[in-house]
């Protein structure tokens, strides 16, 4: 689509013992885009992410970040990356501010002004001098975000970032990511098992199963017009819809068809003309969960808040 990718995974593989955990994974991530990373438990999401940030060694292939290979030039490659891996574990015995100073020292060119700026951005200015052990989970998440953004990364990797946040916190977090992606052109890569979350947050979704990339698709494109129709007698309703040229799919006691809005009144008219009893005609939105289950063949999902 637009411009050059910020991050490219090239045939990334991870072998532990004789088992291939990640198998030949290739994926490009673009600036300004939020890409969701979905998969059943044990599919290899966390392993992939840990390889991308240097926590695990790459067995095969490479990760290219802003043109720099992690294998050849680890320090340059990772200097453009901000990371939150699961719960951000900070040094609890130090103040939030000292934690940020600590991480700032590990990057080039992070000034005191920048630290203060980011503290204000995540709204921690009143508590930043207090010890992290006194923080609530939400505040720790904010601090986690602050440390990930300190050095103005071009690429932000988040592994299960909303774990343990309350709905308001999740919403705030989501909006914040949007702002960063759009205003600063940061490419964001979010892994999650919370499908509804990913659906609301992301432009694009990559789905992984058994260490292999199953599908990449745009979220907007996934929202086609489906309608649920329930009419009696069922058999003649089915025949009519097929005759009209729709792809018909049985669902509950009726059918789901893929149709444009303008065709719906005509169908209802025909049905009543043929003296069918029409009980329900409603637009049906396939949730990401349905699609996900379709694609992964019903792989176990740990937790779902879709409905």
Enumerate binding residues for other proteins (CB under 8 A): 16, 46, 50, 53-57, 74-79, 81, 83, 85-94, 98, 101-103, 105-107, 147
Q: Judged by CB, which is closer to other proteins: 16, or 250?
A: 16
Alpha-carbon dihedral 286, 44, 303, 86, rounded to 10 degrees: -120
Q: Assess contact for 230 and 254: CB atoms under 8 A.
A: yes
- The least CB distance from residue 90 to other proteins, in Å, is 7
Q: Judged by CB, which is closer to other proteins: 43, or 81?
A: 81
Q: Judged by CB, which is closer to other proteins: 105, or 307?
A: 105
Which residue's entry shows tokens 């699609």?
A: 291
Q: Assess contact for 219 and 206: CB atoms under 8 A.
A: no
Q: Judged by CB, which is closer to other proteins: 56, or 214?
A: 56
- The least CB distance from residue 188 to other proteins, in Å, is 16
C-alpha to C-alpha distance for 158 and 4, rounded to whole angstroms: 21
Q: Judged by CB, which is closer to other proteins: 94, or 200?
A: 94
Q: Judged by CB, which is closer to other proteins: 83, or 177?
A: 83
């Amino acid at each position: 689509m637009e411009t050059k990718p910020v991050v490219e995974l090239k045939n990334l593989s991870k072998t532990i013992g004789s088992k291939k955990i990640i198998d030949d994974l290739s994926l490009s991530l673009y600036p300004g885009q939020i890409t969701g990373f979905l998969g059943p438990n044990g599919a290899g999401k966390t392993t992939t992410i840990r390889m991308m940030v240097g926590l695990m060694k790459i067995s095969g292939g490479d990760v290219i970040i802003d043109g720099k290979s992690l294998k050849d030039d680890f320090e340059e490659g990772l200097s453009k990356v901000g990371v939150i891996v699961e719960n951000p574990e900070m040094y609890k015995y130090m103040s939030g501010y000292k934690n940020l100073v600590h991480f700032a020292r590990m990057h080039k060119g992070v000034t005191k002004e920048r630290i203060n700026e980011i503290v204000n951005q995540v709204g921690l200015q009143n508590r930043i001098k207090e010890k992290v052990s006194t923080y609530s989970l939400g505040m720790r998440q904010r601090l986690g975000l602050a440390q990930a953004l300190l050095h103005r990364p071009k690429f932000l990797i988040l592994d299960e970032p909303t774990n343990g946040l309350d709905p308001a916190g999740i919403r705030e977090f989501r909006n914040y990511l949007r702002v960063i992606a759009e205003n600063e052109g940061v490419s964001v890569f979010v892994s999650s098992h919370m499908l509804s979350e990913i659906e609301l947050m992301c432009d694009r979704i990559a789905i992984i199963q058994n260490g292999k990339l199953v599908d990449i698709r745009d979220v907007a494109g996934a929202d086609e017009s489906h309608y649920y129709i329930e009419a009696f007698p069922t058999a003649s309703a089915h025949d009519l819809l097929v005759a009209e040229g729709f792809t018909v799919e049985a669902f509950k006691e009726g059918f789901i068809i893929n149709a444009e809005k303008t065709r719906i009144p005509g169908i209802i008219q025909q049905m009543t003309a043929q003296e069918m009893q029409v009980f329900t005609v409603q637009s049906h939105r396939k949730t990401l969960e349905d699609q996900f289950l379709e694609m992964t063949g019903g792989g176990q999902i740990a937790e779902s808040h879709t409905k």
